[in-house]
Amino acid sequence: MTRCSLFPWMLLCLLIPAVSAFPQEQHTITIKPTSFVATIAIPDFAPKNGSQTISPGAFSGVIYRDLEISGFFRRPRNQEFVNDTHRSDKRDGKINFPEWNRLSCSFVLKGIYNLTPEGLTAECLLYDVKTGQRVFGKAFSGYTKKIQRRLAHEISDEIVRYVTHEPGIASTRIVFIGKRGKSKELFIMDADGHGQTPLTSDGNLAATPSWGYESSEIYYTSYKEYNPDLWVLRLSDGKRGVISSYPGFNLSPAWCEKTRRIALTLSKDGNSEIYTMDPRGKNLKRLTFNRAIDSSPSWSPEGNRMVFTSDRSGSPQIYLMDSEGLNVRRITRQGSYNDSSVWSPRGDKIAFVSRQGGFFHIFLMGVQGGGWIQLTSGQGNNEDPGWAPDGHHIVFTSDRTGKPQIYIMLEDGTDQRQLTFEQSNQSPAWSPFLN
């Protein structure tokens, strides 16, 4: 976490004297998008005979947005032309691939749905316009009208998987901290920003959320019991409990499914250090032993290494160590303030925050600390980076419009999209792939 949310670094800084800033260095690299982008046409889904109806465009609108967010697809310029061509196909009893090609479409998705008191189902056919071949035909079931967006997300993910051989992220979710009045509560939303739902209503302060055990739990810090304790919230039934309540800070949890352990920051011994524990707070192990502040751990995908922040050199910098706390070494040597490092699920990059020109911005670097690439720029602070499980997207906090809000972008910094708009929101954490 970073300055925007005040956890853990700025709160931890209260424990030690301030350090002087070093001269800043410029190290910006300009890169271009590399994603394959194809135009896909999605006519409005039609109801089966006798089916209850859903508003026109309900499915196509959600799927279009999901596919645009994926970075692999874009929608045609005119949806009316899409629907007209679809009606012509129905009238002729065949798909007019030359006409779809004239609309510059690479793919066409045809869908129907059936809504009954028993539930909501859909059937979809995806066609490759260039070859005139069907990519897939699939039926989707087990939904209701109330969760029709989840059905659309599943269809989106299937399209991405079949066309690109990459997993889709439309069905994933994001937890974050929302400021409501004087309190900060835990929220959850879909990856496209819809369905924002509070998970807590404590009227207190929550911070540093993280996805946990088998994606079924959320770990976060709460002042509910007047100490910054580490809590767990079980998503299946909303039940909560305290995992770690040592005196002082219990902050910045980072779960590793490979090791089945939580890495976190504790100040129970009078100084901020990094520890690991099991998901119920047992078998505590201390990893760092330093008089400086050590905080914000992030696991490598294999679970055998971590990156973290320490000011042992005189300013916040990013360090690397193995999962037992050995072989510690500094990997950032540029800039006066580097923090909030998070390891890509693909294992090849680390996203982090660096202060540049008076503002905080998000960068990428290699796992050895080289090859810096600046992803955000301009006025305002951009902080709290977190990876989507596909390793192609990053969620982050930005106050570029005034108050902190949640944004997402592609891993090259392009296609930045704002997801939240109400009040203040920060500290996002993207889920793993969900079943």
Average predicted confidence (pLDDT) for the chain? 91
pLDDT (0 to 100) of residue 30: 30
Split at pLDDT 50, 70, 90, the class of 434 is: very high
Could you tell me the domains of the chain?
Answer: 38-164 (3.40.50.10070), 173-430 (2.120.10.30)
Split at pLDDT 50, 70, 90, the class of 431 is: very high
pLDDT (0 to 100) of residue 435: 73
Nearest alpha-carbon partner for 421 in 431, 406, 408 = 406
Residue 125, pLDDT above cutoff 60 = yes
pLDDT (0 to 100) of residue 50: 84
**Mean pLDDT, rounded, for 224-230:** 96
pLDDT (0 to 100) of residue 24: 31
Split at pLDDT 50, 70, 90, the class of 56 is: confident
Residues 153-200: tens digit of each pLDDT: 999 999 999 999 999 999 999 999 999 999 999 999 999 999 999 999
Task: Please give the backbone phi and psi of residue 38, each rounded to the nearest 5 degrees, phi first.
Answer: -120, 145
Bridge partners (DSSP) listed for residue 417: 408
Residues 258-274: tens digit of each pLDDT: 999 999 999 999 899 99
Distances (CA, A) of 252 to 18, 48, 77, 275: 21, 50, 44, 11
Residues 68-117: tens digit of each pLDDT: 999 999 999 999 999 999 999 999 999 999 999 999 999 999 999 999 99
What's this model's pTM, rounded to 2 decimal places? 0.91
Q: Which residues contact 185 (CB under 8 A, 6 or more apart)?
A: 177, 178, 198, 199, 200, 201, 202, 206
pLDDT (0 to 100) of residue 45: 95
CA distance 106 to 97: 10
Residues 322-375: tens digit of each pLDDT: 999 999 999 999 999 999 999 999 999 999 999 998 999 999 999 999 999 999
Task: Please give the backbone phi and psi of residue 343, each rounded to the nearest 5 degrees, phi first.
Answer: -85, 135
Alpha helix (H) residue ranges in 40-132: 58-70, 79-92, 97-102
